[in-house]
Structure formats: structure tokens, C-alpha cells
Amino acid sequence: MIHKQQIMGMLVDACPSFAKRFAEGMAADYLDDSGNLLHYIALGDFARHILSLLSMGKLDEFPAGFAAVEAFHAEGDQYVREAATVGFLEALQNNAEHRGVEKSAFEKWLGPKSKKWWDRLEDFWKGDVTALRHID
């Protein structure tokens, strides 16, 4: 079982180009006043990093990065599964839309569980308020 303490380490291992940005975030934005990691902020930043890589055509880390997200969905505890969906996938969709990037550009990288939640996020934003119930 993957726990929240493992999320960011797994992402940095899978996507080493995120290491510097993650270290900078730890120093500036990713911790609350008590020193706890704000996973959703960090995952949102990881989504923006993925978008930056896409814009530069640097896709070599995509297989491992998206495999880590799939592992969060497949092997994570409840917190990890929700963070993978709402913290990363939703941030990726929203940031892609704001940058004029087609969301379909990422679908080939999604594993089956991640794709399921990707689609459910789409359904939710189309008005299906039940789409995100029971993140499993």
C-alpha cells in the first residue's frame, strides 16, 4: 500500500527533472505553518511541470511519471487515490485547458485506473455531481 509520505518521492524518482522544482517548492510553497507537506499544492505543481515538459517536447519521463500516478490509483490508500485524482489529474486537466492544450494529449499516457478517474473528472465538470464518489 502506498501512503501519502511516499507520493512525492515516487514522483521525483519517476520524473527526475521535477527534483529541482520540488526542492524549491519545499522551501517556499509546499509546507503549511506546522511543516506538513501540502500534497495537493505539490501535485498541482507537478501537473504544471508535466505541461512544461510537453510544451518542450521532452516526453522521456512521461511513461514513468504516469506509471507512478497509476500506482497511486492502483496501490494507494484512500488519501493517495484521492490526491492522484483531485491533486494531479484535475490540476493537469485545468492547467491544460488554461494553456490551450488539448486534454487528449495526455490520455495515451494514462493507465486504466487513471483513465477511469480522468473520465470521471470530465463527467463531474459536465454536471454529474456523483462522478467522483467512491474514489477506489
| Bridge partners (DSSP) listed for residue 31 | 37
Tell whether 121 is covered by a domain.
Answer: yes
| pLDDT score at 131 | 77
Tell whether 131 is covered by a domain.
Answer: no
Tell whether 133 is covered by a domain.
Answer: no
Per-residue pLDDT of the chain (136 residues; tens, 9 = 90+): 999 999 999 999 999 999 999 999 888 889 999 999 999 999 999 999 999 999 999 999 999 999 999 999 999 999 999 999 999 999 999 999 999 999 889 999 999 999 999 999 999 988 888 878 765 5
Pseudo-torsion of CA 63, 68, 69, 72, nearest 10°?
Answer: 160
| pLDDT score at 80 | 97
| pLDDT score at 125 | 86
What's the pTM value of the predicted model, to 2 decimals?
0.93
| pLDDT score at 92 | 98
| pLDDT score at 135 | 57
| pLDDT score at 113 | 96
| pLDDT score at 123 | 92
| Bridge partners (DSSP) listed for residue 2 | 76
Do 63 and 107 meet the contact criterion of CB atoms below 8 Å apart? no
Tell whether 17 is covered by a domain.
Answer: yes
Question: What is each CA distance from 53 to 2, 24, 67, 92, 113, in whole angstroms?
Answer: 26, 18, 16, 12, 23
**What is the domain count for the chain?**
1
Tell whether 116 is covered by a domain.
Answer: yes
Domain membership of residue 40 as a residue range: 4-125
Tell whether 119 is covered by a domain.
Answer: yes
